[in-house]
A and B are shown apart, each in its own frame.
Chain A
């Protein structure tokens, strides 16, 4: 009996595998989108913090330069190089984050075309394949019933 219906059993196995595949890959696509959102948010947060640090360091640098400008010939020299380095470092890190954000936007945009086709495949084509396979199984089962000895 198993041998006679092995093709039908195999098709039912494939039908189940297609349905599981559709659900699992939808989860994969959702996790991919979540990851893009999470990284965007993390970079935005880092950029926001760095902008605040940059403003702070620029203010401290400006204060230092003012103190240096107001210092008299008898005063100790005012060294603002540490503040200048802090400004440069914060600006460089902010620039680096902005470059990563631009790169992610460019790659996410490129990815969206492929992702859109795959999403349509999961939403439309795969259920159609499952229906097609189910119809084949039904047809094979009906033919076996007709052929079965009474």
Chain B
């Protein structure tokens, strides 16, 4: 079964968050905090917003295909 795109996107988001957690264990200086707060944080937030919107749209597309069958 082919996965829906937003599910793969969620998986990629988790992988990136894990990579950040691993990096943050060793990188704890000022630039690290700035990178996490000002760059990575907004990226993760915007990604979640996008993936949620994509999920909603994919739900609608699936419903349209299902409800107009036959």
Known: A25-B9, A118-B47, A125-B39; 12 extra A-B contacts, CB below 8 A, are A20-B12, A21-B15, A32-B57, A39-B61, A39-B65, A96-B67, A104-B61, A107-B60, A115-B54, A118-B50, A125-B43, A129-B35
Which of the residues A6, A28, A35, A125 comes within 8 Å of B8, measured between beta carbons? A28
- Flag B41-54 by CB within 8 Å of A: 1 or 0 each: 00100110111011
The smallest C-beta distance from B31 to any residue of chain A, in angstroms, reads 6
CB pair A100 B15 closer than 8 Å: no
Which of the residues B8, B46, B65, B67 comes within 8 Å of A118, measured between beta carbons? B46
Which residues, 99 to 147 on A, are CB-close (under 8 Å) to B? 100, 103-104, 107-108, 110-111, 114-115, 117-118, 121, 125-126, 129, 132-133, 136
The stretch from A11-19, A52-60, A64-72, A76-84 touching chain B is A11-19
Q: List 25 A-B contacts (CB under 8 A).
A: A7-B27, A9-B26, A10-B22, A16-B19, A17-B20, A21-B13, A25-B9, A25-B12, A25-B47, A27-B5, A28-B9, A46-B68, A100-B67, A103-B60, A103-B64, A104-B61, A104-B64, A107-B57, A107-B60, A110-B53, A111-B53, A114-B53, A126-B43, A129-B40, A136-B31
A36 located at the interface, meaning its Cβ lies under 8 Å from any Cβ of chain B in the complex: yes
Q: How many residues of B contact A (CB 8 A)?
A: 36
Which residues, 5 to 29 on B, are CB-close (under 8 Å) to A? 5-6, 8-9, 12-13, 15-16, 19-20, 22-23, 25-27
A85 located at the interface, meaning its Cβ lies under 8 Å from any Cβ of chain B in the complex: no
CB pair B68 A96 closer than 8 Å: yes
Residue on A with the closest CB to B2? A31
Q: In terms of DSSP, what is the predominant structure of the interface of chain B?
A: helix
Which of the residues B25, B27, B68 comes within 8 Å of A100, measured between beta carbons? B68
Q: A10-B27, A17-B16, A114-B49 are in contact. Are A31 and B5 (CB under 8 A)?
A: yes
